[in-house]
Structures are given as C-alpha cells and as structure tokens.
C-alpha cells in the first residue's frame, strides 16, 4: 500500500504516520503466493519496499494502477487506505477495480483492506460479489513499515477479500488467519442484495 499524505483517513479514523508505505506482512505474502501457486501476476499499487514481487508492478507516479489494465490471471491488492487528493481517488476505486477484474477478465483477486462493512464499497463490491472474506484475527495488523513489522500496528481491523473461483482453497489457506465467510452462500447473497438496494 502506498500513501501519499502524512495524515490519512482510514475508514473514518485520522491517522498520522511518517511512513509513506505500509507493506503487506510476510506471513500474508506467503499465503497469497500459496493461493496463486507461487505466481502473483499483478500488483497494481506496489512500491519500492514491497516484498510481493509480482511479475508486473504499477508504482506511482510513473504508473497509476487505477488507469492501467488489470487483465492478469492473478492479482494481489494492498491499496492505499486513504484518499489520494491529487488524483481524486479513494479505496472505493481500488475495490471496485478488484471486483471488475474478476467480472471482466475472470481474474483471481485477493485484497487486504480495512473492515468497514458500513461503507458503500463493501455493500457494492464485496457483499454478494466477493467469493470469500477472511476477517483477520490480528487485533492490530502489523504492516511492514521501513522493512520491519515492529510497530504499533494498524488502527483498524483488516480483512482479506477474495474474488475468484476456488473458495475451498481460499478457506483452506486463510482460515488459519481469521474467520472465513463463503460469499457464494445463497442466503448471504440474497440478504446483501436487499442491503445494497437500501443504500
């Protein structure tokens, strides 16, 4: 994840940080690679400190991942959690792009995002659309900051969201990290359709 400002609104909380990048912790990078059989084709919001090592990486300012193609078989996204005032984008744009890559290209997509189930992007792009969700057990997920996970951790709960075709594999790999929900459950989908219509 790349941040472009020191003060960022993370799911309703103002966070002050001197770090410009909050990278995915190694244990989750390993799980992502396992899910994708060792190959992450695209990391659309990478940075110089990332350890994901995707085959294709989009890094600002040279490449804006929201404007580039996501036509790749496996995609991992740890998006900027705050608003990018220069580009006029928010996390909602990244999550929408995740759902679109699955719907348009049948891409397998994993995203590490804040748990904010009351937000429009959860209602529009995750509930009833994602194949699976893992609500992470980590009370304060310790991102990789300046090459180390020795920090206070994230100020919000986080989840791994999966858009793809193999929920069983997702559950097998990520259930060790949190509670998983099958997004293809009929009752779950019907309820979220109603919720989406209300907002």
Condensed to tens digits (0 to 9), the pLDDT of residues 51-61 reads 999 999 999 88
pTM confidence score: 0.82
Q: What is the mean pLDDT of the chain?
A: 82
Q: What's the residue count for the chain?
A: 199
Q: Is the peptide bond before 2 cis (omega within 30 degrees of 0)?
A: no
pLDDT of residue 17: 36
82-91 tens-digit pLDDT: 888 888 999 9
Q: Is the confidence at residue 163, as pLDDT, over 50?
A: yes
Pairwise CA distance, residues 81 & 104, whole Å = 24
In sequence order, the 6+-apart residues with CB closer than 8 A to the CB of 69 are none
């Amino acid at each position: 994840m790349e941040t472009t400002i020191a003060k960022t609104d993370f799911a309703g909380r103002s966070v002050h940080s001197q770090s410009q990048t909050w990278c995915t912790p190694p244990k989750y990078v390993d799980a992502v690679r396992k899910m994708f059989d060792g190959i992450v084709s695209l990391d659309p919001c990478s940075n110089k400190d990332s350890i994901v090592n995707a085959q294709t990486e989009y890094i600002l300012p040279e490449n804006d991942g929201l404007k580039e193609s996501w036509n790749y078989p496996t995609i991992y996204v740890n998006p900027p959690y705050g608003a990018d005032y220069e580009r006029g984008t928010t996390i909602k744009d990244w999550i929408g792009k995740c759902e679109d890559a699955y719907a348009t290209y049948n891409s397998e997509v994993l995203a590490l995002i804040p748990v904010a189930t009351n937000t429009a992007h959860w209602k529009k792009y995750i509930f009833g659309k994602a194949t699976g969700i893992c609500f992470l057990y980590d009370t304060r997920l310790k991102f990789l900051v300046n090459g180390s996970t020795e920090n206070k951790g994230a100020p919000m709960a986080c989840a791994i969201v999966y858009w793809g075709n193999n929920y069983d594999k997702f559950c097998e790999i990520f259930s060790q990290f949190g509670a998983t929900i099958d997004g293809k459950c009929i009752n779950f989908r019907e309820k979220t359709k109603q919720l989406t219509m209300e907002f």
